[in-house]
A and B are shown apart, each in its own frame.
Chain A
Amino acid sequence: MATKERLKKYQRAKFENFKKVNDLIINDDEAYIDLKVSTFNSIKAEYSLTKAPILKQEFLDYIENSASYIPLEYPIVLEIHSDKLSSEEKIVIRKLIKNHFTLTKINKEMEMEALNRKSRFFLLIGILGFIILAIFYANVSFSIIIDIISFISSFSIWEFCELTLFEKDSLQEEVIKYTHLAKVRVIFNKDNR
């Protein structure tokens, strides 16, 4: 099961990547990600409507990549440097960024629930299959059925192990990552860096 200690282990593994990161800025126990934005249109997806804007994926990816090196203990502050954004645009940008990461977090949590349901299903099928095998094992006339049930049970237990041991931990790590990002605080700075 992915406990907080095991998740910290994944973060520790990223320490190797930390070596390549410079200019990490921490103020008042908050980690800052600095971004320069020229205009709102420079970060808005070209095909999105004016009244329902969507941010460019590369902009969101940049935030996500920058945040991946920040330890979970530090809340993230996204400082956007721009002297050309209107008050309305700032409100929209703040809302779009937080919505994106909050929705991604919710999606990952739903994926986690689906994964848990699948793994419980496979475990149940596997256990039931082996119980049935134990009951019919001595009876040779059921040999074909025994082979089929044996295959299904083994497959189910294997699927349960794969989901629990391999997929669940990486999905849990993503939930933690997007939970961290969903709490991002967005501030604006008019200095033109």
Chain B
Amino acid sequence: MEEQNQKFQVEVETGEIMDAELLSVVEIDGKEYAVYSLDNKNGTVDILASYVIKDKEGYDELIDINNPIDKEKISNFIKSLVA
């Protein structure tokens, strides 16, 4: 039986809630990133990435990546797969 990817909802910059599909979790230089896709509902998807941080209760939380070096690392990783 084919595994289903984890689906969840995210709030984008415009405040809109969109459906996201977790593609993978990758650890780069000790930091964990979630790579997920957002369906634009027009036949295209956006591929995004966030830090994966444990909250106080131990659940995974997605945090925006603000560090430009980390952004570049995860961006290079995603580009190597889809570019």
Please report A residues at the B interface, Cβ cutoff 8 Å. Answer: 8, 11-12, 15, 18-28, 71-74
Contacts and interface: CB of A to CB of B under 8 A. Distances in A.
B29 A28 contact: yes
Nearest to B28: A26
B25 A22 contact: yes
Contacts of B26: 23-26
Interface string B53-82: 000000000000000000001001100111
A23 B30 CA distance: 12
B40 interface: no
A-B pairs with lowest CB-CB distance, top 7: A71-B80, A24-B26, A26-B28, A73-B80, A25-B27, A19-B23, A15-B81
Contacts of B73: 26
A72 B83 CA distance: 12
A96 B64 CA distance: 44
Given A18-B81, A25-B26, A26-B73, 18 more contacts: A8-B83, A12-B82, A15-B81, A18-B23, A22-B25, A23-B25, A23-B27, A24-B24, A24-B26, A25-B28, A26-B27, A26-B77, A27-B28, A27-B29, A71-B77, A71-B80, A71-B81, A74-B80
A20 B81 CA distance: 14
